[in-house]
Structure 1
C-alpha cells in the first residue's frame, strides 16, 4: 500500500433541490418564501427533496490522470542529472456512481455516512489504454529510505540489490494507479506486498462522516461535525491545523457571499482548506460564483503564518520556507508523500526548477468551484492535485548515492471534474429567472 485513499471530494449535483424553486418562485414571491422553502426542502432528512438526491450524485463525475514519464532515468541515478519528465494522459475514469452507504440519522441533527469508492475506465475519454507503459519512480525503492531507520539503511541496500531494484521502473498505467505486487516488499516480508499510487481504491472509502442536516439551523447544512468519529484531526498536533472546517465541497449552506471564504475538509490532504471568490461566471446561462484555491492556502509559513503547523520536516523544506507543497507523511503511514497543485503551481522556484518538463499554468492547474449562490450547490468543479514522492541522498543506499539534494518527484496529477447536466441546468434557468 503506497498512497491509499488519495481521492477527491464528491460533487453534489442535487437535482431534487432545484425543484423547490421551480416556477419562478424565487423572485416573484419574495425573500421570506425563499428562506422558508430552503429551510424545509434543503434539510438532509428523509422526505425532503435534498435528502433523496444527496444520497447519490446525479451528474457524472470523472477523474482524469496524467502520469509523469521519466526520460533520463539512468542519468539521474548514475550521474545525479536533473530529471526530465513528460506527462502522459489523460487516462479517464468515471467515479462517484455508487450511492452513499451506512447512512444513520443521529440525535444531534447530524447524519452519518460513508462514500464507497469506485473507478471505471473510460477508453473513449482517454489518450491511451490502461496497458500503456510508463517509466516512473520506483515507489517502494524510493520510500524505504524514509520508512525505515537510518541505522538499517545498509540492510535496505542489501535487499534492493537482491531484488535487482532500480530507482525507476517500467509499469503499466493500471499498475501504477491501482496497484501491483512489489518484489522489494515481497522480499522484506511486508504484510501487504501490493503497492500503487492509489492502492487500495475500489471497494474502500475514506471513513465515516457526520454532517449537519440543517434541521435546527439551515446555515449549518452539510457542514462536517465529525470525521472518523472525531471532532478534530490528530495529525498535526496543533489546535489550528487539526480543525475540521466546512463541508466536503459538494455543496455549501445557502446564500453564499462573495466576500467570504468557502472552507472544506479533504481527507486526501489530511486537512481543511479554503477557496476565495474570484469572479462571476455564466454556466449554461446560470450565474455562478467562481471560488479558487489561492496561493496562500499552500504557501510557506513565512508567507502565511497560519500554515506553520503543516511543516513537519524543517530540514527537507529549507526551514519551512518552501511553499506550494504539503507533506502528508503524518497521515500516510510515514510514507514521504507530498501534495501540490499540478506541475507545482504556486510552489517555490527551487521546487519548480529542479525538474525539466514542469510547466505550471493557472488555467490548466488551479482548483476551482463554481457555486450557485442562492442554493449553495457546486454546479461545476475542477479539483486538481499532484502526488509527489520525496527522496534524499544516501551514502548507504546505492541507488541514491549520486542524488545531490532532496527531490520532490512528481508521480501523477489528477483532475476531478463534473458539471451540472443539461436537464438540471434547465430547471435552474427556469426557476432563477423572472418570466
Structure 2
C-alpha cells in the first residue's frame, strides 16, 4: 500500500522532472548560445584569450617565385619573342608563430588595441629548393622609381635617368630567394632615395634594402596597430576590426573603400550564416568580402566554406562601386586589384596565383601561367556553431605593372603588361588538441537535448505511475465504501 507521503513525493518529483525537462528543452539552445558567447568574448581572463594571444594552431607561409627565363628578349619587336616566359620555383616553406602584444583595453573592455608579432622559420623538409636558389625577375626598385615620379617635371626625370645610367641599372635582377624574402638586398636607387630631402618624394621609404618581407620577421610593428571589438556588450561585433593604425577609414583608399571592418583574422562571429564573411587584410590595406561556397567537413567537424570567387577582385568596369579602389588611376582587367597606395606608391597589383579567376589577357601576355583551382583558391572554413576557423588557405600573387617610360633609357619601348613576380600561400589547419575541443563543444547541445528529454520522460513516467496508483487507490477506497454500505 502506497502512503500519502509516497504519493506526494512521486507526484512532486515527477512533476518537477517533467516541468524542468520541458523548460530546459525549450530554452536549451538559447542557454547554450548564451554560455558559449560568454566564453568567446575576449578579455584578459577569458578562455579565448590564450588561444588568441599565442596562436597554437600551426601556420605555414609558402613562397613560389616566377623565374624569368628570357629577360634579354624583352625589347624584341616581335611580340611572341619578347613575351616574358616563366618557370615557377618553390614552394619555399616557412613555419609561422604569432603572438599578440596588448597595448590596452578600452571602454570597459569593449575593444582591445594590440600589435601582432610574427616570426618565421624556414622548413627545408617541406620546401622544394634552397634559400640560395637564384631567381631572375623584374627590377622592382627601378620600375617603382619611374612610377613614383611619373608626374614630376622633366628635369627630375632626367636626373633619375642619368642616375640609372651611372649606376648601370638593369631591367632585370638576379638574386637569391633569401634576399627576395626576409633578408633583403641593397639597391643603389634605394640608397639614392635615402639622400633626398624629406618631402621630395610623395612617400617615405622606410627601408634600406629591398625584399618583399624585409624587416617583417620578428617585428611587432610591421602589420600595424589593430583595434578590435572584443564582443562584450554586442557579440555581433566579436573579433571585428574597429580601427587600424588609429584610423577608420584609412587614408589608403578614398571614400567608403577606406572603411576598416571585417574580422581581424582569428575570430569570426559565432553561428555564421550562409551568405558571406569579411576579412581585413593588412597586406592589401582593405577588407575582402568572401561569399559562402559550400558545407564541408574538417576532421569530422562540420563547417562552412567561404572563398574568393571570380568577383572578389572586380575592376570598376564590372563593378562601378569599386571606383575608389583604383588609387593610381589604372583600371586593369578584372582579376587584379591596385594596391599601389598600400605599397609605398609602387605600381603593385594583387591577383590570385597564376591569374586564376582573372581576365584571360593577363595569361596571354606572358607564358608559364597554369591556374589550378585546387591549389590557387582562397578560402576559409568555419565551424558552424562557434565560428572558429577550422582551415584556411589564403593565396595571393604580387604583380608589377610594366610599361614604357620614354624618359629612361632602360625603360623605353617596354610592353605594357602585369608582370607576375611571386605568389604566396598562408595556410593553417586545426590540430588534434583544438579539434577535439571543438568536437566536444559541438556534442554538448545534442547531449543536452538527450539529457533534458530523458529527464522529461522520467518525470512523465513517474507521473504516470502516480496516476496509476492514485486511480487504483481511489478505486479501492470506493470498493471499501461500497462494502460498508452493503454491510449496514
What TM bracket, shorter-length normalisation?
0.7 to 0.9
Quote the residue 1:269 is aligned against: 284
| Structure 1: gaps spanning 5 or more residues | 1-25
2:313 paired residue among 284, 298, 306: 298
Corresponding residue SS for 2:161: helix
Q: Deviations over 1:377-430 (max 9, x none)?
A: 1110000111111121122222222313x2211111000000000122122223
- Kindly report which structure 2 residues correspond to 1:19-418, keeping only aligned pairs within 5 A, or say none: 30-77=28-75, 79=77, 81-95=82-96, 97-107=97-107, 109-148=110-149, 149=152, 151=154, 152-178=156-182, 179-187=184-192, 189-190=194-195, 192-202=207-217, 203=219, 204-238=221-255, 240-258=256-274, 260-314=275-329, 317=330, 320=331, 322-404=333-415, 406-418=416-428
Structure-2 separation of matches of 1:223 and 1:385: 22
TM-score with structure 1 length normalisation? Answer: 0.87
Asked if 1 retains the 8 angstrom alpha-carbon contact of 2:74 and 2:83, the reply is yes
Q: Deviations over 1:320-341 (max 9, x none)?
A: 3611111111232211111111
- The 1:27/1:288 distance shift into structure 2, 3 A limit, reads farther
Highest Rg: 1 or 2?
2
Structure-1 separation of matches of 2:305 and 2:339: 28
> Which segments of structure 1 move beyond 3 Å, counting only runs of 4 or more?
26-29, 77-80, 187-193
Q: CA deviation at 1:154?
A: 2.7
Structure-1 separation of matches of 2:105 and 2:390: 26
TM-score with structure 2 length normalisation? Answer: 0.78
Structure-1 separation of matches of 2:394 and 2:29: 33
Q: Deviations over 1:299-347 (max 9, x none)?
A: 1222222212112344xx4xx3611111111232211111111111222
Structure-1 separation of matches of 2:265 and 2:294: 18
Q: CA deviation at 1:150?
A: 6.0
Corresponding residue SS for 2:74: helix
Higher mean alpha-carbon deviation, 167-176 vs 248-257, is at: 248-257
Q: CA deviation at 1:29?
A: 8.2
Structure-2 separation of matches of 1:257 and 1:27: 24
Quote the residue 1:16 is aligned against: none
Asked if 2 retains the 8 angstrom alpha-carbon contact of 1:139 and 1:196, the reply is no
How many residues align? The count is 402
Structure-2 separation of matches of 1:104 and 1:76: 53
Q: CA deviation at 1:246?
A: 1.3
Q: CA deviation at 1:352?
A: 2.2
Asked if 2 retains the 8 angstrom alpha-carbon contact of 1:159 and 1:188, the reply is no
Q: Deviations over 1:257-312 (max 9, x none)?
A: 11x21011112111111111111111001111010012212112222222121123
Asked if 2 retains the 8 angstrom alpha-carbon contact of 1:266 and 1:272, the reply is yes
Asked if 1 retains the 8 angstrom alpha-carbon contact of 2:314 and 2:337, the reply is no
Corresponding residue SS for 2:158: helix
- The 1:312/1:188 distance shift into structure 2, 3 A limit, reads closer
Q: CA deviation at 1:61?
A: 0.4
| Structure 2: gaps spanning 5 or more residues | 1-23, 197-206, 448-488
Higher mean alpha-carbon deviation, 28-37 vs 78-87, is at: 28-37
Q: CA deviation at 1:103?
A: 3.5
Q: CA deviation at 1:190?
A: 4.7
Asked if 2 retains the 8 angstrom alpha-carbon contact of 1:325 and 1:340, the reply is yes
